[in-house]
Structure formats: structure tokens, C-alpha cells
Amino acid sequence: MSSSLKRVTLLGSTGSIGTQALDVLRAQPGRFAVTALSAQSNAELLVAQAREFRPAAVVIGDEGKYPEVKSALAGQPETEVLTGAAALADVAGREDADIVLTAMVGYAGLLPTVRAIRAGKDIALANKETLVVAGQLITELVKQHGVRLLPVDSEHSAIFQCLVGEERNPIEKIILTASGGPFRGRSRAELAQVTKAQALKHPNWDMGAKITIDSASLMNKGLEVIEAKWLFGLQNDQIDVVVHPQSIIHSLVQFQDGSLKAQLGLPDMKLPIQYALGYPQRLANEFPRFSFLDYPQLTFEPADTSTFRNLALAFEAMRQAGNAPCVLNAANEVAVAAFLREKIGFLQMSEVVETTLARVSYLAAPTLDDYVQTDAETRRIAQELVRL
């Protein structure tokens, strides 16, 4: 293996971000090598990926799928097949990777990310929940171990790109853009009738089910607000959200002289994925190019936090700090899962989150163990609420 290859461990390789990341790697032959892949339950796709990229290890999270993956890869002795959460964390910290792309969904990404940082790995972070749940802990670990935290979310990648070369210039504020989702402009009465099928149709982005529902409810933007606070060392009042339906301006930075810098491009996650994996280089590619002539009007409007309560709840959890964002995230994961099972309505997701935030014990300075316990307590309470 060439020493010039950047070695990549990809956690969550069968999801939307993971599959697009592998597309990026395929298009850059001779630059990257895949050292490990993981999936929660999509054994068939994980096996196909392992046969193509021939990593040193694969992890299937669902232990019931382990025999299937193990048998399918029996003729590939260079690839070790593992299963379970402990194996996932172990693989994240292995020495044979230069960067770990965390493309898992939800709280499950926290412990593997912690293990990778402690092992001195740079992190390409597509798992925003890691910083939502434990932002202070993660940023302290990043400094302690001298690693880079490279954002993959399109909005945070945009801000990161705008800040390159601006290290000595203080940020006045950042502006996160939001598409507004499929229900922009709808009333609460209309949202009460929303179906799962309607909520899964995002106007601009092709994403997994959980993040698509979060985008429809604006919880995704709320989680991104909290993520941005920790990524860029911001105060709560330095973060704004503006609805930009075309999703061309991915976010903006305003500096103390009033100047604004924005990063623009088509709504395609491959660009921020490639930027994080290739950083500090901008790698040539054949992605479709943006043209202003195709988008003669770019429009903006305020976010409706009274109709879309999740965004307001996220700002409030950020202000409370401590374990409140951890509660917000876990309650939302339970609520979204219940909505996708059609157990609760669209507006009830916010009600579950708000009620759970009021019931879970508040901790001002949580440890990693406290976060684990808070997550478990929150899920128990939220599960009770969705069964009522």
C-alpha cells in the first residue's frame, strides 16, 4: 500500500452519507484506501462493499446478521468480520486509519467517535448528534489529542470553508440556511394532517428517513445550531437561521467589519464529503456545476419557530446547556421512530420532546457516563409518552 494513500475508516457505510462517501472514494483512485466499514443491519450491501474495497475489518451492528456476513466473506481472509457496539468502538480506534468518517445516525455515533479521537484520529463528522449530545466533552478531547474535527454537514462545511484564511478575524455571527423542508408555509392545522409519506419527500436533498423527518420538522436545523456552537466556538447569540428554499447558499459567516462570506453550490452531499476527506486540498472532480443562470432568484425568509416548535426547543436546550441537548436528541430519536411507525402524528413529535425535556433530571456539568445515563433515562420516559 502506497504511503501517500489516506486511510479511511467509514462508520455507517450503507446509509445515505456512507454510500455517497464511497462514490467519492471510487472517483479518486490512488488517493484513498478503505481500512474498515460498518453498518447496523444492511448485511447484503455491507458484504458487497467489503468485496469491492477489501478493508481490514467490517462490523455489522446487528448481531443477528453476523453469521450471514461472516459466511459471505469467508473467502476473503484479509477482512476480519466483527459485530456489536464494542467491536464498532474498537475498530474506530484502530491504528490503521488516518481519518474516521462517522456517518452513523443518531446517538450511536458518540462512543465510537470518542474512541477514535482518543486514538488520535482526525474525524470527518457527519454524525451531528455527537456534538449535540456531548459538545463540550468532544471539543475538549479534540484539543487534548490534537486531532482535526472536519465537518461534513453541508451547512457546517460551508462555514468551515468560509473561515479558511480568516483565523485572525473574529466571527460576529454565523447564519445557517434551511430549505424549510416540504411543509414550509404550512399552518399548525395543516401539519396536524401530515402523513409519513408526505414528510419523507424532501424538496432538495436525498437523505435517509430519520434526517428527512428531522428536516421536515426543522429539528435537523435545531441540531445543526447546537453542532455549530461547538464546532466554531460560538456564543448562543452568534447563531442565526434563515430559510433559503433553493438550498444553493449553504451557510454564511459575518465578520466584525460586517462583511459576509458564503459558500454556494448545488445541493449535493458529495462536495462536503470530498472536502472533509481531502482537506486541506480541493480535489478535482466531475460533479455537476452550479450556474446562476439556472437559479436567477435566490430567496430568503425567517424561520417559523412558532409553527415548527422543534427549532425553538433546540435553541432553548442550547441555552440550558448541560445535559439538556442530550435529552433533546434522545427524545427526538424516539419521537421520530414512533412517527415513522405511524404511532404518533407529526405535531406530537414536538410534544414528546418538550414533555421529556421537562421530566428528565438536569445536570449542569455531565461526564461521559452521565450522558450515557441521560440518554437511557430519556428514552425510557419518551417511550412511555409515545405509548400513551
Q: What is the pLDDT along the chain (388 residues), one digit of tens a residue?
A: 445 899 999 999 999 999 999 999 999 999 999 999 999 999 999 999 999 999 999 999 999 999 999 999 999 999 999 999 999 999 999 999 999 999 998 999 999 999 999 999 999 999 999 999 999 999 999 999 999 999 999 999 999 999 999 999 999 999 999 999 999 999 999 999 999 999 998 888 778 899 999 999 999 999 999 999 999 999 999 999 999 999 999 999 999 999 999 999 999 999 999 999 999 999 999 999 999 999 999 999 999 999 999 999 999 999 999 999 999 999 999 999 999 999 999 999 999 999 999 999 999 999 999 999 999 999 999 999 999 7
Residues annotated as binding site? 14-17, 42, 127-129, 153-155, 179, 202, 208, 215, 220-221, 224
- Give the pLDDT of residue 3: 55
Please give the span between the terminal C-alpha atoms of the chain, in angstroms, as a whole number. 57
Q: Residue 166 to residues 110, 152, 171: CA-CA distances in angstroms?
A: 30, 20, 9
3-state secondary structure of 171: strand
- Give the pLDDT of residue 203: 80
Pairing of the two strands 301-302 and 149-151: unpaired
Comparing CA positions, the residue from 2, 34, 3 lying closest to residue 18 is 34
Instruction: Give the chain's domains with CATH numbers.
Output: 6-151 (3.40.50.720), 171-266+302-321 (no CATH)
- Give the pLDDT of residue 248: 98
Tell me the sheet residues that pair with 174.
239, 253
Residues annotated as binding site for NADPH? 14-17, 42, 127, 129, 208
DSSP state of 84: S
Question: pTM (2 decimals)?
Answer: 0.95
Residues annotated as binding site for 1-deoxy-D-xylulose 5-phosphate? 128, 154-155, 179, 202, 215, 220-221, 224
Residues annotated as binding site for Mn(2+)? 153, 155, 224
